[in-house]
Amino acid sequence: MRIASISKSLTMVALAKLWEAGKLDLDIPVQHYVPEFPEKEYEGEKMVTSGIRHYEKDMKKVKEEKAYKALKMMKETVAFEQEKEGKSNEKNDFTKFKTEQENEAKCRNSKPGKKKNDFEQGELYLKEKFENSIESLKLFKNDPLFFKPGSQFLYSTFGYTLLAAIVERASGCKYLDYMQKIFHDLDMLTTVQEENEPVIYNRARLSYMDVQLSESGNSYKDEEAVSSGIIPSVSYKNASGKYYVFYVYNKKKRLVNTPYVDNSYKWAGGGFLSTVGDLLKFGNAMLYGYQFGLFKNSNENLLPGYLKPETMVMMWTPVPNTEMSWDKEGKYAMAWGVVEKKQTYGSCRKQRHYASHTGGAVGASSVLLVLPEELDAETLNNKVPPRGIIVSIICNMQSVGLNSTALKIALEFDKDRLD
């Protein structure tokens, strides 16, 4: 199945391994590794590369949207603080009313036009085949930066296309070859890049026989079935002779097939195929590395994690002034969204620490969530890592929000463990 943006978390492991091996310097300009990517300027000043666009090309629209979000957040914060303080005298009530009116006016004046979501952006439906990451750079390498590096945050899939090119140059291997080595090490044997021509065993599918029975019960040759509409022309055939398709709801809320796309331009940021089982292995490997440092003193026989504990801590440390679109309580880290542990009042809502990434591709939705166990001394002395709950969900349906479902499942399993 298409795992979409969970591919970013996989690519981050490649970068982390190169960094641990001393083959990658995170603090030098990208042109050191990829001279094909031009130096950038922002308002006349030369910049290290950041602020690469996502699918939206219009800088004005992006800036308007970010300004509107910032104003809305400020308004919500002011309202919360005023409610918390509990000021109720007439003067303060009048001031609050006046402030709200002013903020409403600002919001109305600054609110951008209707924003396109990712699935309304033309680039998401590219059919062109790209042979490698360097070739894919042509889609965005000459576009301007959207903001001064370090000043704002913008979620970007194309940024990972550039990172894939860096992996190639730092490793001396083709990006896909290097990723296959990582998948082999992690025992993720059913995780591959999505390519439409090769036969990929067990690719998500709708069986030919199921289509025959549901449509007419008659027997058709492949070409006849496609021309008659029984097999969608945008379906794909796998090694077993089965057809697979991806779905989306149209404007009339009816289930329809998604169009044919080629995801080779964004393998690193959203172009891998995987299974629930492989993603669970990946999540466990990440959690093991994250917790290894806590257990190694009590168990000297533990094998090291695939990534060092300090590397995992760095990857799962939220970056200030970022946003995690699938959970407003969290922030973005290094190719993971992270929610930190928090509890404001006793016997009230408790926010658990977890890391996750969601994915949304043409005809597919996904999530991988890691909920580390809250470790005590007894666990550290008598158990071994990884300790926690990993949840992975993948479906061949577009625009399905899965993070909250995954979190609920994880918390239920964690509660069951405690009981």
What is the Cβ-side half-sphere exposure of residue 21, based on CA atoms within 13 angstroms?
Answer: 12
Structure-token pair, residue 164: 């894939």
CA distances for 225 relative to 28, 46, 215, 261, angstroms? 55, 57, 11, 21
Stated length of the chain: 419
State the catalytic residues: 5
Beta sheet of 364-372, edge-to-edge order:
331-332, 337-339, 354-361, 364-372, 388-395
- Do 115 and 61 meet the contact criterion of CB atoms below 8 Å apart? yes
Yes or no: say if 153 and 63 are a contact pair by the CB < 8 Å rule. no
What's the CA gap between 377 and 264, in Å, rounded? 47
Strands (E) across 31-142 are located at: 40-42, 45-47
Closest Cα partner for 182 from 286, 64, 319? 286
Pair type for strands 247-249 and 255-257? antiparallel
- Tokens at 386, concatenated: 């990884």
DSSP letters spanning 3-22: -TTHHHHHHHHHHHHHHHTT
What does the alpha-carbon distance between residue 346 and residue 384 come to, in Å, rounded to a whole number?
31
